[in-house]
Structure 1
């Protein structure tokens, strides 16, 4: 009797499991650590997808640059070797030029203004603009405000950047911005930055507080200057080859999960910023609050140049600034 019971249980249990041959699995790679709020939100998204699809659709996450840099991940998406990734909008601008606008310094009035842009018509149009490059933007994850951090000196004025090599992303806009402040921009991939700081390849970098903390860059850099020069979001991207292979039902499951994960991520981000500030100060990092107007005035040269060189982007900047 007992043997029959266990055989019946085994048959029912196996019958309830999704047929592995019918499971559609999407690989998602990104460069952040597992304690980062963006990674946590994507894990939640993967759990939701599995739940909504009853195991028929699965997202496998590969963090910490396991499958390559952000640029390499985008290239893999384009040929269908990778399904999804999370990249900074600054890296995406190399594939979708209009996204360059989100990297302009002091573009947003405050966080409320920023989210209005991300979630409004302009934000949606910018996401869809990359589809001609076989990349489909799904949502914006909050990446807060970016500031400078350095090994040996506090950046309290733009002049303090003179003679310093500052790591930037592979972004023409970021390179131009650091030059406008007087620094020497040095593009380095995120995965190589800790070692580059240790070895003196660069004197500092620029990023948001949670990334500075979770990457442990505070172990090397003891000065964090909250000048908050730019607010560049992260973008969740799926390759159009992968997207087009999904059924209508699978797309529905995925987008529902993306929307819920976006809401969660923005809440996680608030907590992460507070925690990061507290923890880096405990670790002996000197946090300063420069006069932002000094940096903003320097950055105006970029806008003047843009007006002459790219009227379309200049008008897009103005349109964003005028959103109430």
Structure 2
């Protein structure tokens, strides 16, 4: 009997010890959860960041800069994993993955992101900005920041505007100087309704294709040309099958650095500041890279067989005027108030007169 009693006593004592330990674990776990501060635990925070362009582009170099800055400023607590070249899907899939929290960050073009935040559709109109400096001023100013804040309604934090640059027209049919020269050309566009509508309005045959399908589309005759930035024309090798490039500068194409809202809001204020300051410095670096490499890109493209057509002021004005009927017809298809604010910020009287 004595042995049996001792046995039950030891079992009971063991249960009390286990209960006490588990209770302590639960209390500390609740405290850690309520603090929301991942820094206290010393655990590494991982950011998966995706984009769709080549590792040879300045956009990818910018992501490498962001990675270096974040990891240095966080003393390695925050790690950034970069997935370039559409490894995680096209732009739409990349945005959806960011929205769902499957990845933490991406940098879609503003045209595709507008499918998720309609306020951004105003950037899909052609010939808004007279030059790069004006574009930067508008994006960095009150209007551009207002649109970034609006992304919160869709589950994103808009960190800043990156830069794909100016879009130009290239084709494999021959030199193009006026819109009439390009009538009937099957032109690859992004899946952006306003881009498609504009090119239709000036007589082309726009054909949406995912970026990863463009080269094969040109090679196989699905399309006759593309409208894109010089950097993406070069790294995508589009000039090999679409060598006539007209410097239309019809759209200044920003990309947007977006982050999953729940992820960002779950970070400490210190880490949020590290991410924001790092992306701000990254954008400055990216713009400098693009400015430095424009002439270099033109030279490399020409060396590989591309034929450029610069437009005089008078020739460029023909393109600008060609878009007036488009503005008159489609201004009411977007948030017209925001479109007017954008044109005012850009100092664009031509299209303001057309739609007001």
Assess same fold via TM > 0.5: yes
Q: 1:44 to 1:245 in 2, by over 3 A?
A: same
Say which one has the larger Rg.
2
Q: Secondary structure at the match of 2:169?
A: strand
Kept in 1, the 8 Å contact 2:143–2:342? The answer is no
SS at match of 1:145: strand
**CA distance in structure 2 between the aligned counterparts of 1:24 and 1:288, rounded to whole angstroms:** 49
Correspondent of 2:341 among 294, 316, 321: 316
Unaligned runs of 5+ in 2: 1-38, 350-356
1:299 to 323, 327, 332: 323
Query: Do the aligned residues in 1 keep the contact of 2:110 with 2:123 (CA within 8 Å)?
Result: yes
CA distance in 1, matches of 2:123, 2:333: 17
Measured on the aligned residues, the alpha-carbon RMSD in Å equals: 1.9
TM-score (ref. length: structure 1): 0.90
Q: 2:60 pairs with 39, 50, 54, which one? A: 39
TM-score when scaled to structure 2? 0.82
Bigger drift between 312-321 and 162-171 goes to 312-321
How many pairs were matched up? Answer: 307
Aligned to 1:75: 96
Residue in 2 that maps onto 1:129: 150
1:234 to 2:259 alignment = no
Contact kept, 8 Å, 1:181 with 1:295, in 2: the verdict is no
| Cα separation, 2, equivalents of 1:280 and 1:231 | 20
Unaligned runs of at least 5 residues, structure 1? 1-17
The alignment status of 1:55 with 2:76, answered yes or no, reads yes
Determine the structure 2 residue equivalent to 1:267: 288
Task: Summarize the alignment of residues 215-294 of structure 1 with structure 2, pairs less than 5 Å apart.
Answer: 215-290=236-311, 291-294=315-318
SS state of the match for residue 127, structure 1? helix
C-alpha displacement at 1:238, in angstroms? 0.8
C-alpha displacement of 1:160:
2.0
Equivalence for 2:224: 203
**Equivalences for residues 81-230 of structure 1 within 5 A:** 81-230=102-251
Q: Distance in 1 between matches of 2:108 and 2:331?
A: 28
> CA–CA distance in 2 between the matches of 1:130 and 1:173?
20
Rounded Cα–Cα distance in structure 2 between residues aligned with 1:306 and 1:192: 29
* 8 Å CA contact 1:23, 1:58 repeated in 2: yes
